[in-house]
Structure formats: C-alpha cells, structure tokens
C-alpha cells in the first residue's frame, strides 16, 4: 500500500491554509491514502481542523512539549520516524516546509523535490527553476519521495472531510541545540507586507500623483491588501520604491492582484506572473495589462475605486 | 573561530533566461555568470562577523568546473582569507553538495557554515538544511540578522509569519536571506590581491563522498504564458466575479 | 578629498576590440623586448562583452596580425561568410536583389567571418589576462585626471554607492585614481571622456564634425529549415526615404541564430522619425520576415556608430594619452565595418607606447608618432579610398549616391582626385516638426515587430536603482521650452530604450521624464539632441545592458 504523509503547518491554534493546498497535491498522486501529521505541544484543535480537509484518511497527532514551536531540527527526527510507513512525504513550500523537509530528506539519504507545481505521476513532477522563468519536469529516483508543494499552484482542498485522529508517540531523540526565542509578526502596522499579502492593490502612472495614491491605499485597507506600484509610478515619485512590483522590484504571487492605471510593461508583468487572479483597470483599452488580466475593466480608475469601496 | 562559506556559480540575475527550443535546458553559452546573490550575502556576513572580532578566518568553498574559480576570486576580493575548490564537471545536486560540504567541514572544523538560502538557478533551497542534518548541527535558515554571543548565535529569520528568532549553539549552519546585509563593493587593489590568496583545488574523487540518488531532469520548458481573461462591463460585474471566486 | 591611487605603465579605458587589442599587443611587445609592463583595462560593463554590440561581419585582417594562430587559440570566429546578398527594398513588401556586379567592392565579404563581437572580446580578454593584463569589469572611468602641466595622468574610477540625492549610502566606496605613463582611451563611439579630450586638446581642429548612425540590433533563434549558416544579407532603401541614410543587415550565425539590425544615420531631418520603429517595420519586409517567421527573438540592443570616415578622424595623440578605435572613429562606412580598424588602431597605439617607453620618455608625453603610424597604416588607406562614400550618400541620396560609389570603388578604386565633405553636425539637421510629415508607424504585432519596453527587457539592462541620473541636462528647461514646441522633443523617438518621455504631471502640465534605468548606453541622446543639452555620463559601474552573444 502506498500512502502519502502531509506535514501540517500551524501556529499551535490554527491550521495554516497551505496545508490544504499540499493535500490537493498529495491527492493528485493517486495513492491509497493521504494522511496528515500534526506535530504540536497541544495539537487537538489543529488536528480536528486537519481532519476536516477533504481527502484525508487519518490525522496523526504527535504531541510533545518540544513541539511548542516549529523548529526544524526538533521536528525532523520525529518525521523521519514516521516516514517508514509512507511512499511520499510532502509539506507546503512555505518557509516552514522549506526549512524542515530538506533536513528530513538528508537524514534519510533521499533527494528532495522542491516546489512541486504539477504531478505527472507518482514519481514525475513539474517544478519551477530560475525564479519561474523555466519549468523542469523531473523524475524522483526509486524509493521514498520527499517534496515540498508550491502552494500558489494548488487550490486548497475543500473542508467536508471527516478523517480519524490518531495520537501517536514517536521514538526519536530530540536535540537541545536550537531554542526558539520569539516571533514578531510581520508587516509593521495593519497593512500586510507586499510580498506576503494575499491581496495586492497596485497603482501605476495613471494614478497621476502622490496625493491620488491615497485612493489606492484606502481601497487596499478596505480589502486588507498590500500596496504595490509600477516602476513608472515610483519613478514619477508617487510612491517609495519599496512598493515597486516587477522585474527590478518585488516578484509577488498574491491570490488577487488589482492593477489600477498600470499599462503593463513586460518588466512589470514579470513580477506578477504567478498571481492567482489579475484584475486590470485602465482607461486605455489597448494597454498590454489586459492581455494577462483575468478580469479587465476599461474605465476611469477613481470612479471604479469609489464604486468598489461602496460595494465592499 | 573559522567560518566556512559555500558559494555557487550561477547565471547572473540580470540575464533574461531563455529555454532552449529542444527542451534540453536553458541557454548558458555566452551568458554572464556570477556568484549566486544569496551566497554573496553569506560571504558578506561572514566577513562582518570576522571584522567584528568574532572570527579569525573566512574560508570560501565552491563545487564545480574550473570556471567557478572566478567566483572564488570574487569572494577572496571581498575579503575571504582562502578558498577551496572542489573540482568536478558533473552536475551536483543538493544532497551530494551537502555531503561534500560536510567533508570540508569535517576537515576545516568551522564553527559556522554560511550558505545562501537558495541558488537562483535551481531554486532548490535545500543545501543548508541538508548539511544541518548530516552534521547534526543546528540550522538557522532565511537569516536576516546574526548576532554572535560566545558559543551561541542569535539569528533572526524571515519566515512567512514575520520575524522569528532562534538561539543556536555553535557549530551551526546559517543560510542568508536577502535582507541580511548589502554586500560591499569590491575594491580594485583587492581584486589584484585576491589573485595571490591561497586557492586549494581538490578533485571530487579525492574527498570520498558518496554520490546521493539523483533526481533526473526529463525536460525543460518555458513557463505557460498567462492568457487574457474577460473584460467586464461594470464594477458590479467585477464585484460579482471576484465574489464568485471567493477573493473578496 | 584624498583618494587612493594605483600606478600602472598603461591604463586602457574600455575592453572592446580596440582596448583589448592594445592590451594584447602591449604585452606581446613587452615580452619580445623583455620589458616589465603593468597594464590595466577598465570596463564599465558588468563583464567583458556586456556592452559590446556589433553586427558583426569581421574582416580578420587585424586579428591575423595580432594572433596569427587565432584558430589554434580557439578564437570564436566560427562562421565563414558563404553568401552575400544585397537587396534594394522598394516598399513594404517588395525588394530587388542587386546583382553582385553592381555592388561596390568594399561591400563584398569573401574571407570574412560572422561573429558575436562580444564573444570575440571575451576571448581576447582571456588572452590578455593570460599575458598578465589586469582587467577590471564593472568599473567606470568617470573623470580624466590631469597633471599640473595639463597633460593626462590617468583616470578616476566612478564612485560607488551614491544615492539618487547625491548622498553617500552605507555601501559608499569612493572612486580610485588609476595613474599611468600613457592612458589609452578606447571607449567606443562618442566616449564621454573622448568627447572631453577632443574639447580640451582641440583634437578636431583639422577634422570635419563626426557623423553618426544609430544601430539597433536583435538576435533571433530561427527555424532550422530557414537557417543558412554563413549567409550575409544587406538591404538599402525602404523603409527609409531616399534622403535618409541607413540600411539593414541580417547575418546567419551558428546555432540556428541570426543577428539582424538596422542603422539609421543620425543626420536625419524629420523629428517624427523613430529609428526604433523604422527597425521594427523593416523586419516586416518579406526579404527579412521570411527568415523570422516561426522564430523567437532572444536579444535586443542599440549602439551609436561613427561614420564620418577619414574626414572626421581627429588628432589621436595628446599629452599623456591616445585615442583609439571608435573613440576616434575609424569605422569604414563603405564596408560597414569598424572592428578590424578599431583593433588595428589599438595595436598601433600599443606599438607607439612601447617605443616611447623604450626610448625612456617621461610620463605625460605627447606621442605624435601615433598619428604618423595611423597615416601610414592600411587603416588610413582604407578610409582614404572610401572617403567619398558617406558624403555621396548624403549629397545624392541612397540611389544616386550608391551609383556614384559603385563607379568610385569598382572603376576608379577610390582614386578620384577630390574629397567631399559634410560639415553640418548631426544635431543641427532637424527641421521643425510642423514642417515635416508625421510618420504613422504600424502597431507591433508581437511576432515579428515589438514595442520598445519589451525590447529593452531583452537587453538585460539593469542599473542600481538608487543612484543619481546619469543623463545630465545642462539646462533642465530646454526639453519643454525649446525641444517640445519646435521638434516635438525628438528624444522620445530617437532613444531606442524609452528613456525619455514627456508626460503629464499632477496638474496636467507637461513634464520631461528621464528613465535612466532603461539606458542601453547607445549615446544617441548625447549626439542628436538639437540643443546639445544632454550629456551622457557614466552611471555606477556594472550598470547598463548585459549583452550575451551580441
């Protein structure tokens, strides 16, 4: 029997949404079962959430005070002990999974497939290289497959499952050389960080001025979105350059990207090509941004912002 | 103490990547090659630790063909004390790379091994963590701040949730993220001096490292282009569409 | 301020064909004479070759002299010219192949090679380094350093880590003085130091103004079925009118790639003309598009070339230094080639410097021997023979001028006893926009023709974001007060990288915007601005395009 184990990402209280995306990828493998493991100090609440993910057979709950915080060197030996029952072990390709999985793989003498974006078969995968400018199709060598799942490539599995939760104890020696000191949540202020934001509202030269950018900020705050800008807007002095999205600025992959008054130079598009849904609002119907936008609206951006704010 | 820094030769980050029409890889002929930018940050951090009086020697190492010497010379010009070049013409994947670095660490006994968080060619983001596992040393990946306090390092890490701080015992592995520092400009006289700094070449075969099982690359393709979606006629239509997708 | 300095025997500015030939020749001669010699080459590109853009069909004359065994040494001259087609394009879908007999002799390419000059330079740099030359890519020569007696004592490398507002960033690294007995300036066409030297030493006193063209080039990977390695195609005529000089080229290189480009002479008169758009629509002529259909564009770049020929060559020597290659202007317009003459003049400079050092000359001496060597070299012979080619095209238009050149070159072998001159500088040729026809360029199709920004993208151009703009306006009001009303601010069109734009500001007023980040270092603005108000200076070292295989 071939089974896949997905490592749950959580903060002790809530399951991170990336887990359900990794489960979607695991389901694509077409194996006999998808199990999820929750490693926590007190993980029953998280395990219950994981049990609801559609397609999960069993949730393994491994509780240990050492698992209070997700420290790779401490979690890795526990996963290694569990891996013997599985043909595949996957984790989301978040900083959590990226930190943890290679440590597991190396101990077990296995290579790792990073950032799986498509499953072709149980051993053949697509993954991006060169910052997404090329995609390679790779075949894992025979034996245990260890990988991380590019979350932007998978929709979260839905939430109507009812897996059983099994408490497990694992026999592993845990190191004491790594101590968690603290976590300071990012962003600084209420507005999410551009690179981490699930939604981004972005303005271009069409916004017209620094003063006018207030409308962009206002909409962003209403949506709980980060604020981005095209290089033209940055060059024109409308907004500081740490907001710049594109080849020379930040490369981002939010679920929703709303571009206001951005023409869509290729340099800008290079920074958003992995966005989930792109919405473009521009007066110029010929603007290149419409060639990549999922939803385009030819209109005055200020009127659109006003109406959107009312509708939200 | 000694710091060992691993560096990799990669296609320069400014170069537009072109996938070869036959799917055999990306075009690298006549293309500018550079030190992986995250590795450059790792070299810089090692030098700053040394300059702060917390280390005596910075050793930089690379694995690859003869041309990789260029990147070692760059690191030496930045200020590294000496270099080790593990010579091989084979493609080295992360686990084998980590085993090679482990062999070098066993020999040099550094207190810190600094690496870039990932190479901008294969984007694997694995080597530092794998080396951590193989050496049973602590790891602090995605570092944005490193403080050395005696036999421990206090490392701030850029994680998705924000900034996490770990305290790790040395020896340890640290991988550098983008905001750790801004690497220095290299000075002309230092480029000339770098040519005279020691550079030891070791044939891979002489290290007795077992090559790990490898991931086979079947083909390389250009990423799918985004297709144009639909034009909506009004804000109301747009709001409905976004609500349907659960985006607002 | 007190700056660090380093001393060399010879400092060479620019690692192009001229500078690297000078470096190689210096070391060869030093070895022969058992002379100790410290030579350094500085190069503003991030690596050797990063800023090299050339056709290029290379005539191997100079290479044969410099490295008689270049084949064994592995020089990347791999594709011999096998066919040589010249078309006169008569319209957007028509063109006539010109029979070989009617083609002026200098345009014949037997024995020449299709190369990537960037790769040739990379190879020459390896040879030079092997002989002990210090090559420093990523460093600019920002200023000329003078001795108290006015002679050149070297150059200052550009400061690094200066913020846009001029303040020093944490990474600030002051430039260094590189001092030399002789400094060889090999910056290429319209070098920004070369321009200053010509002024301060009045080197142009006996020469006509230099004339320029803007070359815009692309590299394509094409359908192997359509690829004919070694085929050279040149075109004249469409899309330019009979009074605008220029033409296109398409060379079939190795690896199913073609190198193609279009040169527009910068003495054009219509401010509505856009060299970039001329180049794009030129590709849509079936004589060109037949090769490109189904292919993929992989690279883009642009660079000004000098085409003044013999009449425009300045004095080459001045106290403490020499001008070589396109920094002086040795391109042979009839052959459309300047690499061999650039290389040769670099070699002549090397010989000159070695003789001077051998004679025990003091640093800072003026080596007029260089000018003598040039006048007795084959470079001068070539330029002399073809001296009327450019002026004839200018005087009579492409068709009659071309006919003259055929008689001049094929019948009289360049020996006609007169020399035509063209004394109007290129920046003074524009006519008022209101008096010129507007040119309606077709929209790019995204397959054969493209827009400017997606083109610049393929040049891999990058500059450190936070640095002062390297395109300086002497009078910031001129673009809007003079250039816009009179000439529709032609910078918007002549710049092949979209650096200059006239946009509306917050109050709806016109604003002249410079996107220095996009600059591919072609120098056209420095040449063509009608008010001569734009000065190109060096940005932070390593900035600019990153051409591979160009």
**Peptide linkage before C239 cis (omega within 30 of 0):** yes
Beta bridge partners of A34: A4
Q: Could C503 and A211 be called an inter-chain contact, meaning their C-beta atoms sit closer than 8 Å?
A: no
Count CB neighbours of C414 within 10 A: 21
Alpha carbons A98 and A104: distance in angstroms, whole number: 11
Q: Which chain B residues are closer than 8 Å to C4 by Cβ?
A: 187, 189
Alpha carbons B156 and B163: distance in angstroms, whole number: 6
Angstrom distances, CA of residue C68 to CA of C65, C77, C117: 6, 13, 18
Say if CB C345 and CB C380 are below 8 A apart. no
Alpha carbons C407 and C393: distance in angstroms, whole number: 13
Alpha carbons A115 and A154: distance in angstroms, whole number: 11
Beta bridge partners of B35: B9
| Percent residues over pLDDT 90 in chain A | 78
**pLDDT beneath 50, residues of chain C:** none
Substitution target in C165, C454, C508 with the highest count of A β-carbons within 10 Å is C454
Q: Could C46 and B18 be called an inter-chain contact, meaning their C-beta atoms sit closer than 8 Å?
A: no
Substitution target in B32, B183, B186 with the highest count of C β-carbons within 10 Å is B32
Residues contacting residue B246 through CB under 8 Å, at least 6 positions apart? none
Count CB neighbours of A71 within 10 A: 23
Q: Which residue of A has its CA nearest to B10?
A: A130
pLDDT of residue B134: 98
Q: Which chain B residues are closer than 8 Å to C221 by Cβ?
A: 21
Chain C within 8 Å of B225 (Cβ-Cβ)? no
3-state secondary structure of C18: helix
Say if CB C16 and CB C342 are below 8 A apart. yes
From the CA of C457, how many Å to the nearest CA of chain A? 7
Report how far Cα C422 is from the mean position of its chain's Cα atoms: 20
Q: Which chain B residues are closer than 8 Å to C460 by Cβ?
A: 14-16, 32
Q: B183-198 b/e with 16+ CB inside 10 Å = b?
A: bbbbbbeebeebeebe
Q: What are the phi and psi torsion angles at C316 (to 5°)? A: -95, -15
Q: Could B126 and A105 be called an inter-chain contact, meaning their C-beta atoms sit closer than 8 Å?
A: yes
Residue in A185, A279, A311 nearest the CB of B162? A185
For the cut 80, the answer to whether the pLDDT of residue A196 exceeds it is: no
Q: What is the DSSP letter of A107?
A: H
Q: What are the phi and psi torsion angles at B159 (to 5°)? A: -110, 170
Q: Which CATH architecture has domain B2-218?
A: 3-Layer(aba) Sandwich (3.40)
- All structural domains of chain C: 5-68+118-207+314-385 (3.50.50.60)
Strands (E), chain B: 2-6, 9-11, 33-35, 57-64, 82-87, 112-116, 139-149, 152-159, 162-169, 172-176, 199-203, 216-221, 230-231
CB < 8 Å from C in window 114-153 of B: none
Q: Could A184 and B163 be called an inter-chain contact, meaning their C-beta atoms sit closer than 8 Å?
A: yes
Interface A:C, Cβ pairs < 8 A: 29
From the CA of A208, how many Å to the nearest CA of chain C? 6
- All structural domains of chain A: 3-168 (3.40.50.620), 199-311 (3.40.50.1220)
3-state secondary structure of A286: coil
Q: Confidence class of residue A99 from pLDDT cuts 50, 70 and 90?
A: very high
Q: Which residue of A has its CA nearest to B132?
A: A103
For the cut 70, the answer to whether the pLDDT of residue A189 exceeds it is: no
Q: Could C548 and B187 be called an inter-chain contact, meaning their C-beta atoms sit closer than 8 Å?
A: no
Please list the alpha-helical segments (H only) found in B28-86: 37-51, 69-78
Dihedral sign for Cα atoms in the order C378, C380, C383, C386: negative
pLDDT of residue C432: 97
The angle formed by the CA atoms of residues C197, C200 and C203, to the nearest 5 degrees, is 65
Alpha carbons C120 and C115: distance in angstroms, whole number: 7
Count CB neighbours of C68 within 10 A: 10
The angle formed by the CA atoms of residues C239, C241 and C243, to the nearest 5 degrees, is 145
Please list the alpha-helical segments (H only) found in chain B: 37-51, 69-78, 94-108, 127-135, 188-194, 235-244
A228-281 residue pLDDT tens:
999 889 888 899 888 889 876 777 888 899 999 999 888 888 889 888 899 999
Q: Which chain C residues are closer than 8 Å to B12 by Cβ?
A: 46, 546
CB < 8 Å from B in window 137-166 of C: 139, 157, 160-161
Q: Chains with ≥3 Cβ pairs under 8 A against B?
A: A, C
Q: Which chain B residues are closer than 8 Å to C47 by Cβ?
A: 32
Chain B within 8 Å of C398 (Cβ-Cβ)? no
Say if CB C114 and CB C549 are below 8 A apart. no
Strand ranges across the sheet with A256-260: A226-229, A199-203, A256-260, A277-282, A295-298, B230-231
C276-286 residue pLDDT tens:
999 999 999 99
Q: Which residue of C has its CA nearest to B192?
A: C134
Substitution target in B15, B31, B185, B195 with the highest count of C β-carbons within 10 Å is B185
CB < 8 Å from C in window 198-227 of A: 205, 208-212
CB < 8 Å from B in window 105-124 of A: 105-107, 109-115, 124
3-state secondary structure of A96: helix
Q: Which residue of C has its CA nearest to A287?
A: C451
Residue in A95, A130, A295 nearest the CB of B238? A295
Report how far Cα B180 is from the mean position of its chain's Cα atoms: 13
C287-306 residue pLDDT tens:
999 999 999 999 999 999 99
Residue in C454, C466, C506 nearest the CB of A208? C506
Question: How many Å is the Cα radius of gyration of chain A?
Answer: 22
Count CB neighbours of C449 within 10 A: 21
Interface B:C, Cβ pairs < 8 A: 58
Residue in A209, A235, A267 nearest the CB of C506? A209
**Mean pLDDT, residues B133-158 taken together:** 97
Q: Which chain A residues are closer than 8 Å to C454 by Cβ?
A: 265-266
Q: Chains with ≥3 Cβ pairs under 8 A against C?
A: A, B
State pTM to two decimals. 0.92
Substitution target in C255, C545, C548, C550 with the highest count of B β-carbons within 10 Å is C548
C378-436 residue pLDDT tens:
999 999 999 988 888 777 777 777 777 777 777 777 777 788 888 899 999 999 999 99
A279-292 residue pLDDT tens:
999 999 988 899 89
Chain A within 8 Å of C467 (Cβ-Cβ)? no
Q: Where are the domains of chain B?
A: 2-218
Chain C within 8 Å of A299 (Cβ-Cβ)? no
Count CB neighbours of C446 within 10 A: 11
Residue in C453, C457, C513 nearest the CB of A236? C513
Chain C within 8 Å of A2 (Cβ-Cβ)? no
From the CA of A239, how many Å to the nearest CA of chain C? 14
Q: Could B21 and C221 be called an inter-chain contact, meaning their C-beta atoms sit closer than 8 Å?
A: yes
Write the DSSP string, C361-399.
Answer: PPTT---THHHHHHHTSHHHHHHHHTTTHHHHHHHHHHH
Q: Confidence class of residue A186 from pLDDT cuts 50, 70 and 90?
A: low
- H-helix or E-strand spanning residue C241: none
Residue in A212, A241, A265 nearest the CB of C453? A265
Alpha carbons B172 and B153: distance in angstroms, whole number: 8
For the cut 80, the answer to whether the pLDDT of residue A1 exceeds it is: no
Say if CB A21 and CB A155 are below 8 A apart. yes
- β pairing state of A226-229 and A199-203: parallel
Q: Could C173 and B29 be called an inter-chain contact, meaning their C-beta atoms sit closer than 8 Å?
A: no
Alpha carbons B12 and B35: distance in angstroms, whole number: 8
Count CB neighbours of A85 within 10 A: 11
Q: Could B184 and C178 be called an inter-chain contact, meaning their C-beta atoms sit closer than 8 Å?
A: no
Q: Could A256 and B248 be called an inter-chain contact, meaning their C-beta atoms sit closer than 8 Å?
A: yes
Chain B within 8 Å of A304 (Cβ-Cβ)? yes
- Is A189 exposed, middle or buried (CB count within 10 Å of its CB: 0-12, 13-18, 19+)? exposed
For the cut 70, the answer to whether the pLDDT of residue A188 exceeds it is: no
Q: Which chain B residues are closer than 8 Å to A311 by Cβ?
A: 235-236, 239
CB < 8 Å from A in window 6-45 of B: 11, 16-17, 19, 26
Chain A within 8 Å of C462 (Cβ-Cβ)? yes
**Mean pLDDT, residues B80-104 taken together:** 98
pLDDT of residue C319: 98
Please list the alpha-helical segments (H only) found in chain A: 18-28, 44-51, 72-83, 95-107, 213-223, 231-235, 266-269, 301-311
Interface A:B, Cβ pairs < 8 A: 240
Q: Confidence class of residue B10 from pLDDT cuts 50, 70 and 90?
A: very high
Residues in chain C: 550
Residues in chain B: 248
Q: Which residue of A has its CA nearest to B27?
A: A134
* Among the listed residues A255, A309, A307, A301, the one whose alpha carbon sits nearest the alpha carbon of residue A282: A301
């Amino acid at each position: 029997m071939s089974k896949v184990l997905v490592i749950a990402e959580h903060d002790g209280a809530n399951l991170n949404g990336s887990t359900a995306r990794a489960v979607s990828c695991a389901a694509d493998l077409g194996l006999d079962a998808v199990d999820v493991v929750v490693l926590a100090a007190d993980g029953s609440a998280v395990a219950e959430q994981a049990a609801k993910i559609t397609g999960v057979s069993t949730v393994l709950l491994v509780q240990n005070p050492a698992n209070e915080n997700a420290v790779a060197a401490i979690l890795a030996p526990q996963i290694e002990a569990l891996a013997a029952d599985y043909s595949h072990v996957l984790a989301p390709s978040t900083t959590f999974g990226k930190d943890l999985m290679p440590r597991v793989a190396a101990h077990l003498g296995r290579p790792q497939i990073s950032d799986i974006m498509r499953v072709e078969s149980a051993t053949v995968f697509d993954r991006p290289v060169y910052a997404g400018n090329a995609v390679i199709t790779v075949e894992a060598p025979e034996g245990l497959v260890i990988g991380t799942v590019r979350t932007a490539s998978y929709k979260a599995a839905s939430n109507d499952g009812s897996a059983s939760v099994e408490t497990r104890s694992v026999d592993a020696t845990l190191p004491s050389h790594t101590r968690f000191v603290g976590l300071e949540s990012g962003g600084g202020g209420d507005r999410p960080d551009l690179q981490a934001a699930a939604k981004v509202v972005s303005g271009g030269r069409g916004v017209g001025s620094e003063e006018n950018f207030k409308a962009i900020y206002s909409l962003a705050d209403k949506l709980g979105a980060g604020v981005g800008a095209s290089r033209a807007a940055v060059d024109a002095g409308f907004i500081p350059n740490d907001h710049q999205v594109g080849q020379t600025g930040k490369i981002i992959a939010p679920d929703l990207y709303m571009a206001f008054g951005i023409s869509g130079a290729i340099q800008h598009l290079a920074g958003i090509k992995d966005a989930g849904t792109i919405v473009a609002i521009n007066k110029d119907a010929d603007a290149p941004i419409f060639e990549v936008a999922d939803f385009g609206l030819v209109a005055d951006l200020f009127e659109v912002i006003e109406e959107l704010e009312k509708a939200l | 103490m000694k710091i060992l820094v691993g560096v990799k030769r990669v296609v320069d980050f400014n170069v537009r990547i072109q996938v070869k029409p036959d799917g055999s890889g990306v075009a690298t002929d006549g293309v500018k090659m550079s030190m992986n930018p995250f590795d450059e940050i790792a070299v810089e951090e090692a030098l700053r630790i040394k300059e702060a009086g917390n280390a005596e020697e910075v050793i930089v190492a690379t694995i690859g063909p003869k041309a990789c010497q260029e990147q070692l010379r760059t690191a030496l010009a930045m200020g590294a004390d000496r270099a080790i070049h593990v010579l091989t013409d084979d493609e080295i994947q992360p686990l084998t790379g980590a085993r090679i670095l482990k062999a070098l660490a066993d020999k040099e006994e550094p207190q810190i091994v600094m690496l870039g968080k990932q190479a901008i060619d294969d984007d694997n983001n694995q080597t530092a963590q794998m080396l951590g596992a193989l050496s049973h040393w602590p790891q602090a990946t995605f570092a944005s701040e490193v403080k050395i306090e005696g036999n421990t390092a206090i490392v701030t890490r850029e994680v998705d949730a924000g900034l996490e701080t770990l305290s790790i015992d040395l020896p340890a592995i640290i991988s550098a993220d983008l905001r750790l520092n801004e690497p220095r400009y290299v000075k002309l006289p230092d480029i000339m001096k770098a040519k005279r700094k020691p550079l030891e070449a070791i044939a891979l075969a002489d290290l007795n490292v077992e090559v790990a099982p490898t991931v086979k690359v079947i083909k390389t393709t250009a990423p799918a282009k985004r297709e144009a979606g639909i034009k909506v006629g009004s804000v109301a239509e747009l709001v409905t569409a976004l609500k349907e997708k659960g985006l607002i | 301020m007190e700056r660090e300095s380093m001393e060399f025997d010879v400092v060479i500015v620019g690692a192009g064909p001229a500078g690297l030939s000078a470096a190689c020749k210096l070391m060869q001669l030093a070895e022969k004479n058992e002379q100790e010699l410290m030579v350094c080459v500085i190069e503003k590109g991030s690596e050797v070759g990063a800023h090299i853009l050339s056709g290029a069909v290379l005539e191997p004359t100079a290479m044969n002299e410099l490295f008689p065994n270049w084949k064994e040494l592995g020089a990347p001259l791999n594709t011999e010219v096998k066919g040589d087609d010249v078309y006169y394009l008569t319209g957007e879908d028509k063109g006539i192949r010109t029979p070989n007999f009617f083609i002026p002799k200098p345009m014949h390419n037997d024995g020449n090679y299709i190369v990537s000059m960037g790769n040739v330079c990379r190879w020459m740099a390896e040879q030079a380094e092997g002989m002990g030359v210090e090559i420093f890519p990523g460093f600019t020569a920002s200023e000329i350093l003078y001795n108290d007696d006015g002679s050149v004592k070297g150059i200052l490398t550009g400061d690094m880590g200066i913020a846009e507002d001029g303040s020093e960033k944490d990474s600030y690294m002051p430039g260094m003085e590189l001092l030399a007995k002789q400094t060889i300036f090999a910056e290429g066409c319209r070098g920004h130091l070369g321009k200053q030297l010509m002024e301060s030493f009045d080197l142009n006193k006996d020469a006509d103004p230099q004339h320029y063209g803007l070359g815009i080039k692309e590299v394509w990977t094409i359908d192997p079925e359509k690829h004919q390695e070694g085929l050279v195609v040149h075109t004249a005529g469409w899309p330019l009118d009979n009074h605008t000089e220029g033409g296109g080229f398409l060379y079939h290189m190795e690896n199913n790639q073609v190198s193609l480009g279009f040169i527009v002479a910068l003495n054009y008169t219509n401010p509505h003309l856009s060299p970039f758009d001329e180049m794009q629509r030129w590709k849509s002529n079936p004589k060109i598009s037949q090769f490109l259909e189904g292919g993929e564009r992989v690279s883009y770049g642009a660079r000004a070339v000098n085409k003044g020929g013999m009449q425009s060559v300045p004095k080459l020597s001045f106290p403490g230094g020499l001008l070589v290659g396109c920094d002086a202007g040795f391109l042979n317009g009839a052959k459309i080639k300047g690499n061999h003459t650039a290389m040769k003049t670099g070699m002549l400079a090397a010989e000159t410097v070695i003789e001077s050092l051998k004679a025990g000359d003091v640093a800072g001496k003026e080596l007029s021997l260089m000018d003598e060597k040039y006048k007795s070299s084959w470079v001068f012979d070539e330029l002399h023979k073809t001296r009327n080619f450019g002026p004839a095209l200018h005087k009579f238009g492409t068709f009659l001028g071309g006919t003259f050149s055929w008689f001049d070159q094929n019948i009289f072998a360049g020996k006609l006893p007169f020399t035509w001159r063209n004394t109007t500088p290129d920046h003074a040729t524009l006519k008022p926009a209101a008096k010129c026809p507007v040119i309606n360029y077709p929209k790019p199709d995204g397959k054969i023709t493209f827009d400017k920004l997606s083109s610049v993208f393929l040049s891999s151009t990058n500059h450190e974001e936070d640095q002062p703009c390297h395109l300086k306006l002497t009078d910031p009001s001129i673009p809007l007060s003079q250039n816009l009303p009179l000439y529709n601010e032609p910078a918007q069109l002549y710049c092949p990288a979209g650096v200059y734009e006239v946009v509306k500001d917050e109050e709806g007023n016109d604003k002249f915007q410079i996107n220095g980040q996009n600059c591919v270092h072609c120098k056209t603005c420095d040449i063509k601005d009608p008010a001569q108000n734009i000065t190109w200076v060096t940005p932070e070292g390593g900035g600019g395009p990153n051409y591979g295989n160009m």
